[in-house]
Structure 1
């Protein structure tokens, strides 16, 4: 793949990331922010400390701050995903541009978010010990790195087993390897149970579902939009010749 094609896909990946970020912003505003407000209200009602004035108001956080964060993240995410697409194209099977984009986004969602999320799920305000914040952050990103590396190793393993086992059996064997190693990581990495006893379980469940919904929206929308844009770069349709029959287009004009 030449540098011009990579550049075109990179730009389109960033545009697709921006579009996906807009959709994720809508989901976040209507599903996530109400849960955050409820968690903050719970935290304030159970806190005996009174801080000073807020540097950034809650209104600004839930509007301008939220939009800036998600849209910037969407553009950066789209660019990185587009580069990964350029590397993976042709190495993950004989799929078209759209199918490859959707397959890559699905695999990315599982490896980058779902697998780490199941071990270290998102927590709303008032949940989590501040003293373990750094440790939890490091472990979450460690889980992300491990999951991505395992996903790459799973693809390589599946391709190497395919000639001897067949595609179906090789896929099952590679998938079993991924699940086994992830399960071992879940078992040996430390866990945290820092939910206050009186914190509403329904609110915690709704918050985590909202966080998952935002990521599903982001990755799915990116896969669909980027697949369409990538197809126009990699498999452009021939120009139409309207008003002419095939014989007329094939017959040269005499002078």
Structure 2
């Protein structure tokens, strides 16, 4: 893949990320913000002291302009990185077309980058979590992300190497079992945190976590669908041209 194609896919990935970010923003606003407000109300009601001046940024600004800026900037950056990963993975994950490859890569990314770390260190609303452990929790979360991505790459490599001997189906099962086992060991050895305050509503906690999961699922799925369509418009004409050239009969000299 030449540099011009990579640059074109990078730009389209950023546009797809922006589109996915807009959809994720809608989900975050309607599913997540009400849970954040409820958690803040709980935190204020159970605070041991009340002091300080006005907030530097109002809650209204946080839930509108702040949320929009954060999600959209994240979406554009996410789209660019995912597009570069797509350029590297295309043709290395099986004989899939541009759209199928984009959606497959997006689903694998959702699982490896978000779902696996989320199951070990789920998102918490305000009032949940000890401020003294935030540095440790953040470090362990990103460590879990890195481990999950590396294990996902290792799983793909293992599946491809086992396929000639075991067949695609059996190789996929063995590689999948390796991934689950390795993730399970990481879950067992990495420390866990249970810092939910007493009397914090369990329903609110799980609603917040499900909303966070819904935002990420929307972002990754929308990106896979939109970017797959855009990438196909760049790559498919070249594929068709090669197929036509290959099918064209070779002229015979008189």
Measured against the shorter chain, the TM-score band is: over 0.9
CA distance in 2, matches of 1:55, 1:236: 53
**For residue 153 of structure 2, what is the aligned residue in structure 1?**
152
For residues 7-86 of structure 1, what are the structure 2 equivalents within 5 Å? 7-50=7-50, 51-86=52-87
**Alpha-carbon distance, 1:194 to partner:** 0.4
**Alpha-carbon distance, 1:236 to partner:** 2.9
**For residue 3 of structure 1, what is the aligned residue in structure 2?**
3
CA distance in 2, matches of 1:179, 1:154: 10
Unpaired segments ≥5 residues, structure 1 = 239-255
**Alpha-carbon distance, 1:49 to partner:** 2.0
**Higher alpha-carbon deviation: 173-182 or 229-238:** 229-238
**Alpha-carbon distance, 1:10 to partner:** 0.2
CA distance in 2, matches of 1:132, 1:49: 21
For residues 133-148 of structure 1, what are the structure 2 equivalents within 5 Å? 133-148=134-149
CA distance in 1, matches of 2:164, 2:229: 32
**Alpha-carbon distance, 1:197 to partner:** 1.6
**Alpha-carbon distance, 1:101 to partner:** 0.3
Misfit runs of 4+, over 6 Å: none
CA distance in 2, matches of 1:26, 1:19: 11
**For residue 181 of structure 1, what is the aligned residue in structure 2?**
182
CA distance in 1, matches of 2:54, 2:93: 53
CA distance in 1, matches of 2:49, 2:95: 60
Q: What whole-Å deviation, never above 9, does each CA across 1:80-130 have from its counterpart, x for those lacking one?
A: 000000000000000000000000000000000000000000000000000
Unpaired segments ≥5 residues, structure 2 = 241-254
**Alpha-carbon distance, 1:52 to partner:** 1.7
**Alpha-carbon distance, 1:53 to partner:** 1.1
SS of structure 2 residue aligned to 1:235: helix
TM-score norm. by structure 2 comes to 0.93
SS of structure 1 residue aligned to 2:200: coil
CA distance in 2, matches of 1:81, 1:118: 22
Equivalent pairs, count:
239
For residues 218-233 of structure 1, what are the structure 2 equivalents within 5 Å? 218-233=219-234
**Alpha-carbon distance, 1:199 to partner:** 0.1
**For residue 209 of structure 2, what is the aligned residue in structure 1?**
208
Q: What whole-Å deviation, never above 9, does each CA across 1:200-235 have from its counterpart, x for those lacking one?
A: 000001000000000000000000000000000001
For residues 115-130 of structure 1, what are the structure 2 equivalents within 5 Å? 115-130=116-131
TM-score norm. by structure 1 comes to 0.92
**For residue 171 of structure 2, what is the aligned residue in structure 1?**
170
